Structure 1
Amino acid sequence: MPWPSQQIHDIVDELLRLNRRKINTFAGAVLEASAFTILLRLWEGPRTLRELSVELELEQSTVNRQVNAAIKHGYVERFAVEGSASKMLRPTEAGRAAFVHDGNLRADRLRRVFDDLAPGRPEVLLHELRAYNDAYERAVRAEGL
């Protein structure tokens, strides 16, 4: 077996289960998954294309293509900031409305999942996911990636 333990194998299997789910597919959704992700970041405040690229850990060309699609659909707009060569990005009113709509779809699904999670608790899951993601990011940085 290539795994040092059955537990490691099972954790890898569960993480793969998370990744292969169509978690970004919702009946009645307005936004594509990439537009939702971009609007999630922009909800917190305007960003440059480069900042989005770093935060999303994607190539700038990929983020540029996704942002241009969101702009074309009227969800995001570019605006100039005095003294800055880079234009900033922010949600439009239509983008805010679509984000709230689709965010509510996601929240409804999570509520149903948490209702069925017994005996688990959402706050414990959140705590452990954060701890895992923080530790994973430290490990990747230590590898120099």
Structure 2
Amino acid sequence: MSNRSHEVEYEQMLLSRHGLWQHKGGRGKDGPMERSAYILLSRIRVQGPMSIGELSDAFGLDASTLNRQTAAAMRSGLVERIPDPAGGMARKFQITDMGARMLDEKRDYFVQALDKVMADWSDDDIAHFASYLRRFNSDIERIEGRPWPRPGTDGP
């Protein structure tokens, strides 16, 4: 492992400790949104309705874990089960109006927090940082064999 990889690991660890998630943005007026629900809703929003099997493949998690996460999201009113729009046998999960609203509120909170952190950064610095993060995530996705769709693209 290179010395630079050690630096990246350490900075990634520090990044994960900052806890933007735990501040006031962690709870909306309709109650808490767990981090797992935020990621689940984000994926469904970009890709469209997904079955447990599709979610399991996308997240690299076993179906029982996804069953627990989707059940919690259903109890919170964030997702609902629908028949497969393509006519398949499996039921799929889609975001409810409340789930979409809460996801937007959470994302707006994070964007505002990032705006504060990067207030003194140039537009070029922000663009380069976003590009490096996208490349880093895309390379992890390539190695794991689980690409993640980006908004404005044609899926995974």
Structure 1 counterpart of 2:43, from 41, 44, 56? 41
Gaps of 5+ in 2: 146-156
Aligned to 1:56: 59
Gaps of 5+ in 1: none
AA aligned to 1:14 is: E
Q: Secondary structure at the match of 2:93?
A: strand
Matched, 1:107 2:111: yes
Question: Any idea what the Cα deviations from partners look like across 1:29-77, whole Å, max 9, x if unmatched?
Answer: 2311111111111112111122122222222211210110010011100
Larger displacement relative to structure 2 (88-97 or 26-35): 26-35
Percent identity (aligned): 28
AA aligned to 2:52 is: L
Q: Which has the larger radius of gyration?
A: 1
CA 1:68–1:110 in 2, change beyond 3 Å: closer, same or farther? same
Larger displacement relative to structure 2 (15-24 or 106-115): 15-24
Q: In structure 2, how many angstroms separate the alpha carbons of the residues matched to 1:139 and 1:92?
A: 33
Aligned to 1:88: 92
Q: In structure 2, how many angstroms separate the alpha carbons of the residues matched to 1:21 and 1:9?
A: 19
Matched, 1:25 2:27: no
**1:119 Cα offset (Å):** 9.0
Greater RCO (CA < 8 Å, at least 6 residues apart): 2
Aligned length: 138
**1:117 Cα offset (Å):** 4.1
Q: Secondary structure at the match of 1:115?
A: coil
Matched, 1:12 2:9: yes
Structure 1 counterpart of 2:129, from 125, 129, 134? 125
> RMSD across aligned C-alpha pairs, in angstroms?
2.3
- Using structure 2 for the length normalisation, give the TM-score: 0.76
